[in-house]
A and B are shown apart, each in its own frame.
Chain A
Amino acid sequence: MTDLLTAVTIIFIVAGPFLLVANRLDLPTVPFFVLAGIVAGEFIDPDLLLELAYYGIALLVFAFGARIDLSGVRTVLADGEFAAIGQILVVGSLGVGFGLVLGVPPIEAIYLGIAAALSSTIVGTALLQRTINSDPVRGRLVRSIQFVQDLLAILFILLLGAGTLEIGYVGPALAVGVALLLAAVLVNRYLFDVVGRLAGDSDELMILGVITLLAVFVGAAEFAGIPIVVGAFAAGLAVRYDPVDYLGLFNGLQSLRDFFVAIFFVTIGALVVFPFVGGIGWAESVEKLVLVAGLVALTAVVKPAVTTAILISRGYEARSATLASLNTDQISEFALIIAIQAFMIEALSPAVFDAIILAAAVTMVTSSLTHRYDEQIYRTLADRGVIVGRHDRVDEWSDVPDDIADHVVIVGYGRQGRTLVQTCEEMDHPYVVIENDPARRADVVSECVAVVIGDAMERYTWEKANTADAKLVISTVNSQPVSRHILSLDTEAEVTLRAPDRATALELLDAGALYVGQPDLLAGQQLAQQVRGLLDGDLTREELREQQQAELERRADYLPLHLR
């Protein structure tokens, strides 16, 4: 067995228990890899692993690129929020300033600034996936902010490839970067399907072909003297995002990525010299700790604060803005890549490198904690008046007749909300729609007689909808906090809610709701009915198909485009 194999073996053996702990505590895995690395660093020489770690980086960035659907980029950017850029500028400058105050050389201070400014995609997205269904506004906001940040990260990596910002490097590097991206787009358009055809039905060859594509792009980047990360990103873009045709490919890449990325993060941990326990003196340890503490404060406190402020000023509700900002309170894994790249070309001193890595590990853990308690954090801050939402936007966009009474308050203008509005209009009954999603604002305002554009968690929104005099409140929002909040409203109106599952539905009924809709229950009934019809031979599957398609078209006829 080679030394290298021994090193890989040790990495995984040490990482195993750490992963179990991460899973037990329901925390992200990356910080635990780093911790495992710090432990494994006692037994192995991380230099051995650098090449493998670089494959980890390449696969990480490659997978990010491969997930990007070229034809969809425009829509993400279009409904995007360029708050990301403002936030990066402000927090980045603060980071640089912080470094300079502590006497860190300017070029290293830039790295500190980048580390503070960028947020993590792996951690952020993993956390986000749990909420994206129940809170689409915030989901879209965060995804868009992180996407812009990730693209900027790639740009930073390209620009900082030489560890300096000399024009002699930057100009040609940019040119090569653009050329690689163009090549990627061309491959995506013309060559990728050829690879697919050549591989035939063999997932093995398909994966091999795509990894080769990665190797070629990385090789091109290396040959041209720019960071391999840029090559890996371009290679990712060259892969057609088509999980239907290339199902096996995307599953396979996931395994490869998980394997090598684990090596990367553990290796990073192994490179860190831990304060006080490593072979460094007291003064150095303290200096390192100060750097870590500063970075953590910048990332976990200042960054969300700045983001919240920017989002509120752009017209978002205080709550959405705060919750979305709390998704950005960690250091990005891209910052880790930038740091290790700089460390390798000695543009970054070990102390600053260690500080960035440790701060990243710490903020990834704190971030999942703030995410877990985000609603409470917002409540506390709002109740103490730290975050003051402004109502002028709500007033400006909303339109509710002053004398409205005995009306129906409809929360959410999705499929259900839309159908309910139609019912009210057919029956000529007064109603108010409460909607919070800026993307739907134009539709709601143009299609509905009375609307409040505001957050259902905010008291002012309900005042605005004159809920005190309402006859009925119907929430179509699949969110436990919103449901609870509605039940606690001071009104005579009866309440119907929506629940994601049976247990919640029963709870809400107990808590006083008139009715709780649980879509799955209805769908389950319908399904059973149709299955029985088929199995008993009451209708043939062709008849069922025709009947269902007709039903679909009937439904489609009265749905607006964005809800189909």
Chain B
Amino acid sequence: MVADVVLTVDFAIILLSATIVGFIAKQTGQPTIIAYILAGIIIGPAVLGIVETSELTELLSELGLAFLLFLLGIKMRLEDIQHVLTPIVKISLPQMAAVFLAGMGVALALPPFGLLESFLIGLAVMYSSTAVVIKMLNDKDEATSLHGKIDVGVLLVQDIVVVIILAVLAAGQPDDLAEVATTLAVVLVLVALITVAAIGASKSVLPVVFRRIADNTEVFFLVAISWAFLFVFVSDNINLFLAPFGIEAYLSIEMGAFLAGLAIAQLPYSKELQDRVNPLTDLFVMVFFVSVALDLEAAQLLGLWQEAIVAALVLMPVKFLIFFYLLDWQGFDTETTFLGSINMIQVSEFGIIVAAVAFEGGFIQAEVLGFMTLLAIFTMSVSVYFIEFNHALFNRFEPTLERWTGDGEFEGGKQEYSGHAVVIGYDDVTKNALPLLADHYEDVVVVDRTVSHIETLKQEGYDAIYGDFRNSTIRKDAAVKQADFVLSSSVQTEVNKALLREVSDDATVFVEAERVDHARDLYANGAHCVIMTPHLAADRLADYLRAYLEGEDDTLMEAIDSDVELLEKPDPFPADHDRLGGELDD
């Protein structure tokens, strides 16, 4: 009776299975990526066969990759990555050549593959998985660490290469090397052009636009998304734009999304955006991982399973060694070299895509596609554990590794606050405390959601973070857990309670509340002082009224005059703070 069934059951099943397997994984300490891939295998044609890819799941998984790269772009401040650009290029190109040779060699050694097939397998295994590595780096909050930046850089170079290879494969057998070279040149020029456009925008238009909308959460978020889609659209339709000039070229939407994010990253509001984009990315990337295994029949997937496992067992150590050697060669310290290499040992989802395009182009059989898929799923799954426990592994093997590596001369990493003061919200109440805190603490970090406040604070030399304290990235950035003193001007009890839960036991915490019940609640949760603005004002007013009614005009006028004087004081950061505060002792 009701409208045509509009919502497909498929998506609901994907959600349900991913949730269930995800919960089990969480309880047993496994990474969520594994859970999603497993869920996909279970509900896909390989096992139960109850879900097929639909237009919706395809959309969401494409969006997943695009958003993942967009999110990554938002985190990349140019000044932070400039110093690793050269080593990245020097690492990624030899790396791909070496892994290509290794992959082709392994394939040739395995009976079922001929020369052409081996060549294509070599091309398909060169890349590490953007989805796995970046998701794991994000989850572990290591995307902006030195090894994180190297990995991300290498992945992006690989992304450019994959785009070129896909373009060539899609065009069918290339006539000659010259055609390949032209494609390469066109893609590189396009990437360069879009990068210039993005950086240009981040210097000119974007600051003006985003400053205006930064105080409106919804508009801010959606305009940023709109900006990302603009780049996605341009990258995807670049061929249409270039057709009139007789040039044929393709760009990946991921590349576009990354550059869009990169432009926003240069603005002071990018932190806030990370937290807003994160949930969408998580959901979409989940669909991506689930749908990896949705396309293949069991027979195809498992037809060459022994070969896939052999290839995986050979390729993973080889990849690690190649990366390890190259990173060490570029002068990174042992830890960075190890972490940067161990993260990259898997075969990428792009390998599957390259194989799929080759399959459609008639270069390979379905079994080879199944082999590539299994190889990718298997290496991704295994590598997730290596990434999850990379630090533990490093600690275990550090003495051995030291013997093999050169001296690290590369500086990097990010500074962390500790033992500092955090002030949440800059207003008429908290601003009085700022100079006091600045005298006592080396770092005073102020979190605020108003652009003009951030600007004032920065001028005054405070560390100011733009964003909503409710967002976990913002809390992490302000290093609330390490703070020695926290002052919150929020009167929302839930925000303050969440804050009290997060701070360390040694921290002194000042919060505000409007009602007695709330204040009691906050004391019970460990607050040291709850400022109750309305009550203070009520007491003060009652004192004045008493003086007035008793006819003590002189005292009253004096008190009033001093209040008025305080009001008229324009300087938000009074240099002479001794005169503040001395007057409430009545």
Contacts and interface: CB of A to CB of B under 8 A. Distances in A.
Contacts of B213: 19-20, 23
A438 interface: no
Nearest to B544: A515
Contact of B516 (A55, A212, A247, A564): A564
A501 B427 CA distance: 10
B541 A13 contact: no
A207 B517 CA distance: 31
A501 B541 CA distance: 17
Interface in A497-530: 498, 501-502, 505-506, 509, 514-530
B226 A531 contact: no
A416 B534 contact: yes
Contacts of A516: 567
Nearest to B502: A247
Contacts of B549: 408, 423-424, 427, 429
A519 B497 contact: no
A209 B19 contact: yes
Which secondary structure dominates where chain A touches chain B? helix
A132 interface: no
A16 to B, nearest CB: 3
A89 to B, nearest CB: 27
Contacts of A294: none
A1 B236 contact: yes
A163 to B, nearest CB: 8
Nearest to A208: B19
Interface string A535-549: 100000110110011
B56 A23 contact: no
Interface in A408-422: 408, 414-416, 418-420, 422
Given A162-B2, A244-B497, A51 B7 contact: yes
A419 B539 contact: yes
A555 interface: yes
Given A204-B32, A208-B22, A415-B534, A243 B581 contact: no
A161 interface: yes
A23 B229 contact: no
A374 B384 CA distance: 59
Contacts of B471: 251
A5 B62 contact: yes
A532 interface: yes
A200 interface: yes
B313 interface: no
Contacts of B9: 219
A19 B219 contact: yes
A549 B522 CA distance: 10
A228 B11 CA distance: 15
Given A258-B221, A472-B548, A247 B498 contact: yes
**Number of chain A interface residues as a range:** 35 or more
Contacts of A530: 510, 529
Contacts of A420: 538, 541-542, 545
Task: Specify which of A204, A258, A509, A556 lies most central, judged by the most chain B CB atoms within 10 Å of its CB.
Answer: A204
Task: Specify which of B517, B535, B538 lies most central, judged by the most chain A CB atoms within 10 Å of its CB.
Answer: B538
Interface string A468-487: 00001010100000000000
A205 B23 contact: yes
Interface string A222-237: 1001111000000000
Contact of A529 (B223, B228, B545, B584): B584
A198 interface: yes
A19 B581 contact: no
A71 interface: no
B306 interface: no
A495 B142 CA distance: 60
B539 A414 contact: no
Given A1-B62, A51-B6, A215 B15 contact: yes
B314 interface: no
B564 interface: yes
A212 B548 CA distance: 64
Contact of A259 (B280, B439, B517): B280
Contacts of B527: 545
B517 A2 contact: no
Nearest to B440: A535
Given A525-B584, A526-B531, A202 B26 contact: yes
Which secondary structure dominates where chain B touches chain A? helix
A506 B212 contact: no
A10 interface: yes
Interface string B519-558: 1100100011111111111111110111011100000000
Contacts of B58: 2, 4
Interface string B231-247: 01100100000000000
Nearest to B59: A4
Interface stretch (B394-402, B407-415, B429-437): B429-437
Nearest to B54: A51
A77 B408 CA distance: 68
B536 A169 contact: no
Interface string B459-501: 0000000001011100000000000000100000010011001
A225 B282 contact: no
Contacts of A205: 19, 22-23, 26, 32
B581 A529 contact: yes
B93 interface: no
A211 B7 contact: no
B2 A528 contact: no
Contact of B282 (A58, A200, A207, A474): A207
A168 B7 CA distance: 24
A388 interface: no
Contacts of B218: 29, 258
Nearest to A533: B581
A521 B545 contact: no
Interface stretch (B191-199, B270-278, B323-331, B366-374): B270-278
A174 interface: no
Task: Specify which of B2, B229, B432 lies most central, judged by the most chain A CB atoms within 10 Å of its CB.
Answer: B2
B436 A218 contact: no
A211 B280 CA distance: 12
Nearest to A204: B282
Contact of A518 (B233, B436, B439, B567): B567
14 contacts: A20-B209, A51-B6, A204-B279, A227-B2, A244-B498, A247-B470, A247-B472, A251-B275, A251-B276, A255-B278, A415-B534, A474-B541, A515-B564, A524-B432
Can you list the 7 inter-chain pairs with the closest CB atoms, starting with the nearest? Answer: A16-B226, A252-B279, A529-B581, A520-B428, A519-B537, A564-B516, A528-B432
Interface of B: 1-9, 11-12, 15-16, 18-19, 22-23, 26-27, 32, 55-56, 58-59, 62-63, 139, 209, 212-213, 216-219, 221-223, 225-230, 232-233, 236, 253, 275-280, 282-283, 286, 427-433, 436-437, 439-440, 468, 470-472, 487, 494, 497-498, 501, 508, 510, 512, 515-517, 519-520, 523, 527-542, 544-546, 548-550, 560, 563-564, 566-568, 577, 580-584
